Amino acid sequence: MSWQTLIKQQTHLPSDNGKNGQKQLIPLPGISLIQVAGEEAASFLQNLLTNDVNALAVNQAQLSGFCNPKGRLLTIFRLIRREQDFLIALPKELAEAITQRLTMFKLRSKVDISLAEDLYAFGLLADDAALGAENNWHGKTVDEGLLITQPGQQARYLMVADESGCKAVAQWLDEGWQLGSEAAWQLQDIEAGLPMIFNDSKESFTPQQVNLDLVDGVSFKKGCYPGQEVVARLHYLGSPSRRLFLGRIHDTELPAINTAVTGDNGETLGHVVQAQFSAENQILCQLTMKLSGLEKAAMLAGNEVQSLSALAEEPAAD
């Protein structure tokens, strides 16, 4: 079964997130892959991204960000190191613009940057810890492709496969796997506290405002990168005024990315980072919230924000 056929079948799935204990195979058409290759690929990325690219071993991944000079995030993505190249897995809506942005920095670097249109991303949800590598962000090669173990409340994996691997993976549907919705994968990311940037939120948030530093997406020991001075100054000389929190609302429509969370008097308390249905009319939201407004009643799209909770712990003071 081809990628296109899988996507067509996926569009006809019922509007639930498949929380029934079955193994789920989730095509991720909303994720694109950018390939960065060449003998200087590692140093090229090391000079641009928030995380320490040089710390990655082959078949490992990390969460990382790409900022503008003011320290605002253009994108957040999973960076995967393979034997001969790096792959950037990011929202499809940003892929072309980020490819162009990276190319602007190429200059005379011996690096090739392109959209990997012959590779596909899958999410796997399965209570089978032996399926992939034991530790989060570590990879394992299988006949169908590369599996990267992901953080989450259940065992889950990001798979990268070519067309041949895609057809092989599709055969799993005849072996007890269930085709899952892309929303189920996003819900896992939201619950795991992994932030994401989309078109409507690009250049809106610093890494600290979405907890990127608390989920190992920022290295404060590496060299410079665009926006590094702003990010480092906040880390060493100040403290974030916002952090990422998990909130719940009851509604029939998802709030738009970057929608404001407001207080009783209309003041802005935060913004939506991403949101997804967790059950019928129940929505789980990642919200970047002002710490000064956490005790105030909060409203989102006309709905009361309930059960506001921190998504990561602050590091202990040195």
| Fold (CATH) for 3-181 | Gyrase A; domain 2 (3.30.1360)
Looking at residues 266-284, what average pLDDT do you find? Answer: 96
Q: Which ranges of the chain would DSSP assign to H, the alpha helix?
A: 3-10, 41-46, 92-104, 163-170, 182-192, 228-237
- In this predicted structure, the answer to whether residue 20 has a pLDDT above a threshold of 70 is no
Q: How far apart are CA 174 and CA 167, in angstroms?
A: 12
Q: Is 265 helix (H, G, I), strand (E, B) or coil?
A: coil
Around Cβ 26, how many Cβ atoms within 10 Å?
A: 26
What does the longest C-alpha to C-alpha distance in the chain come to?
Answer: 58
For the chain, which residues make up each domain, given as ranges? Answer: 3-181, 199-310
pLDDT of residue 120: 98
What pTM value is reported for the model? 0.95
- In this predicted structure, the answer to whether residue 19 has a pLDDT above a threshold of 60 is no
* Tens-place pLDDT, residues 76-88: 999 999 999 999 9
- In this predicted structure, the answer to whether residue 1 has a pLDDT above a threshold of 60 is yes
Looking at residues 55-60, what average pLDDT do you find? Answer: 97
Percent of the chain with pLDDT over 90: 87
Cβ contact 86:35 at 8 Å: yes
CATH number of 199-310: 2.40.30.160
- In this predicted structure, the answer to whether residue 17 has a pLDDT above a threshold of 90 is no
* Tens-place pLDDT, residues 189-234: 999 999 999 999 999 999 999 999 999 999 999 989 999 999 999 8
- In this predicted structure, the answer to whether residue 316 has a pLDDT above a threshold of 70 is no
Extract the runs of DSSP E, i.e. beta strands, from 134-281: 139-142, 145-149, 156-162, 178-179, 242-250, 260-262, 268-279
Q: Look at the block and give the residue holding tokens 């204990």.
A: 21
